[in-house]
Chains A and B, each alone.
Chain A
């Protein structure tokens, strides 16, 4: 409904389309920006999850780092202690030489075994005593020992007793001064335990000088003169490391411990799992520290993956945290997107409906038909401009009133029926009505009123449409009056002629000769035929004007056919035709008796007319597909094949028939088809020239509402 102060003129077509476009644009723009916002929020959430997971990872890794550091310290301490212990054993062995100037192999072995050196110092490859032999005493010494390498030297440091882990190691008689002379001399001069070098096969040599008992050793000179020999220790890095750092293969820890010399050359490496190398992993935890004793420096390098000491759960936690965060943000984004999307769709729908409503309103406003919308009591809520033109009342006058303003011209029963249908039955009403304009001039209108029904058939009001059919009705009336008058004018002389001939034939005016009677009889037949033609033409005129009312009643088809048989009996007998009817008893149909009779009459009349003498005509009746099928078959002239598509056309006449007789109007079958349609059925036929024709009628077993013609119905006002 538009507001009263809006003039119709202002609502041009552009107004109807304007709203939709900005709405769509706005919602489109809004859609895009909301999705961008959603995406930014999503990214932000993802970033936060990543950051959070990193923080957690860092915390966990710093935990891992401290565990690692502690582990490294532990290992370093253990190794350092082990190394010192190994070296310190030399002091114990020197004690043997302090007790007795000469130590033989037996004594040595007993002492070494007493110290349990092999077992207690697993890194030790061998311990030995190297005796100083001056060049002057070589020959004497060689009576009991061998010396190698055998070259002449100023003095010799020859191993005289050896305890080796590896019995293959042939050390007895080895003169260490040949290779390590300078280092050993430094040790002799310093008087202290010291590392002296590394052997070819990798063992590190340590030496502790032994001085003769009772001699002063305070100065280098004194120490040189008191020097007796060295206690020598061979320390094997691999044995040392593997014995000191015990890695359990079943432990979850991944760790690599490497021992390097002071030049960082790898001496030995031990790892778990076997073959684990720090170079192979990303971001390893790694630490280098030193082991040192008696002038020896080793680098201890320990390496572990960043997950060192962490449980599986701890390792996976940051990733899980990130994935959880990402999943959650995706979920939030999806929910957000769905909500936004559905809201936008709702907005679009609303925009579209607004636009359609606008178009609809425009259509209603500009409709040429009068359209009013009322509430359930008929109070007018809306009236379009056409209704102002038709009724003569302004919109202001109509609003708040009911259509009685221009109605009340029909009998009260009409309005009772009208209201019952639209308000009680809630069905649309169609009909013709007589109304009166504001200036008092009556007009005919075709009305269509529909109830507006909501949910559960709730009645909101009515939409009424009126179409002015005054001029059409006037035309119809004129035509009807003309047809009526014309037929009357034709019939009156025909009546006079027929009565004259009847009177003459009755012999009331005197006896007739045979010829006179025959001629009169023919004239009378022509009169009958003319009367039939006039009747047919009138009927067609009525059908075409839509003025034939179908009045249903129970019609016994068999009875109807028997009546017709009596009517056409004379003609049938005259042509000596055989006529049979096969009608199942009590074939009763709800139909219009008069119209159906007309249909049958035409079919029977045609059948006798176009069947030669002594031919046969047969009528059969049966049910078929919800219809009653009535066949009228003859053994007549038939219809030429090339004309068969025009059989039900107006003025159709078969070529073969026209050669035989000029009788016939070509209206009968047209009327049959028209009336059958009016009865809700249809007609068809099968024909073969010179064999016969069968016309079939199919009439609905239950009359449909289409069978009645609303335009010619009882709503028509009599004036």
Chain B
């Protein structure tokens, strides 16, 4: 794999399905980025505060603390890194709420291949 301008950047994936999180990790790491995965909102908040990632791929439906709360936390802390929502919820209302909470983009997981996802998030790195 050729080195990209994004090489060495850290992406945090918050996704409760480990299997899916790992597949994203495997496929994204090919492009030279570092990928951290967390399984719920609490872990996500902890990781964000400690690791200061360059981009967060955030699921919405997660146990205990959901993606909206994580977004709210990020907004309150005024972190500058972009947050991209990667979920299987597609209701307009959810999308609007995420926008209001400062999310950069909103993708439906099942509708995107990994390559398409990479193409879309490249620009934010």
Contacts and interface: CB of A to CB of B under 8 A. Distances in A.
Interface stretch (A41-49, A397-405, A502-510, A698-706): A502-510
B113 A480 contact: no
Nearest to A488: B88
B122 interface: no
Contacts of B108: 491, 531, 535
A443 B45 CA distance: 37
Interface stretch (B15-23, B35-43, B46-54, B69-77): B15-23
A718 to B, nearest CB: 7
Interface string B75-119: 000000000000011111100010000000000111101110000
Contacts of B17: 492, 496
A503 B110 contact: no
A145 interface: no
A531 B110 CA distance: 6
Interface in B6-26: 17, 19-20, 23-24, 26
B120 interface: no
Contact of A491 (B23, B30, B109, B115): B109
A718 B88 contact: no
Contact of B89 (A488, A496, A502): A488
B104 to A, nearest CB: 18
Interface in A467-498: 480, 484, 487-488, 490-492, 494-496, 498
**Consensus secondary structure, chain A interface:** helix
Contact of B88 (A480, A492, A506, A548): A492
B113 A508 contact: no
A499 interface: yes
A480 B91 contact: yes
B20 A496 contact: yes
Nearest to A489: B88
Contacts of A535: 90, 108, 111
Contacts of B23: 496, 499-500, 502-503
A5 B97 CA distance: 52
Given A503-B26, A506-B27, A498 B113 contact: yes
B61 interface: yes
Contacts of A494: 110
A348 interface: no
A502 B92 contact: no
B92 A484 contact: no
A34 interface: no
A718 B94 CA distance: 11
A708 to B, nearest CB: 14
A498 B92 contact: no
A269 to B, nearest CB: 123
A508 B30 contact: yes
Nearest to B97: A718
Contacts of B97: 718
Contacts of A524: 113
A404 B44 CA distance: 44
A506 B20 contact: no
Given A495-B20, A542-B92, A506 B61 contact: no
8 contacts: A480-B91, A487-B90, A492-B109, A502-B113, A503-B26, A506-B27, A531-B111, A535-B108
Interface of B: 17, 19-20, 23-24, 26-27, 30, 61, 88-93, 97, 108-111, 113-115
Interface of A: 480, 484, 487-488, 490-492, 494-496, 498-500, 502-503, 506, 508, 524, 528, 531-532, 534-535, 538, 542, 547-549, 718
Given A492-B20, A496-B23, 12 more contacts: A491-B108, A492-B17, A495-B110, A499-B114, A502-B23, A502-B114, A503-B26, A506-B30, A524-B113, A528-B113, A535-B108, A547-B92
